[in-house]
Amino acid sequence: MDMKTLTYMKERVEKAEELVKLINNLKEKIAIVKSDRLKNIKIQFDSSDFATSEWGSKRVSLLHANIEAHMINAFIDATEEEIAILEKELAEL
């Protein structure tokens, strides 16, 4: 094997490692969002923010629960789409 081939293979391995790390990170985020570790959703804008429910609140309003469910589902769907794109890119290496 010549040096050019080895360099090419090394670049592909490094790219594959990077993709695997990204995929695993995204899967971990989905697992956290699906678990009971998620306490609330905080939205930040400019120098302010607000949460859809109070941290550690035992009683969540129906409106906030509905908003959080839609936000969580949108996050999961978008993240799964990104994972599929990255997995396809990995398979093409």
Q: What percent of the chain has a predicted confidence (pLDDT) above 70?
A: 94
Q: What sign results for the dihedral spanned by CA atoms 43, 41, 64, 24?
A: positive
Structure tokens at 13: 């391995």
More confident residue, 68 or 18: 18
Task: Tell me, yes or no, if the pTM score tops 0.85.
Answer: no
> What is the model's pLDDT at position 86?
98
Give CA–CA dist 29/67, Å, rounded: 19
CB 42 within 8 A of CB 33: no
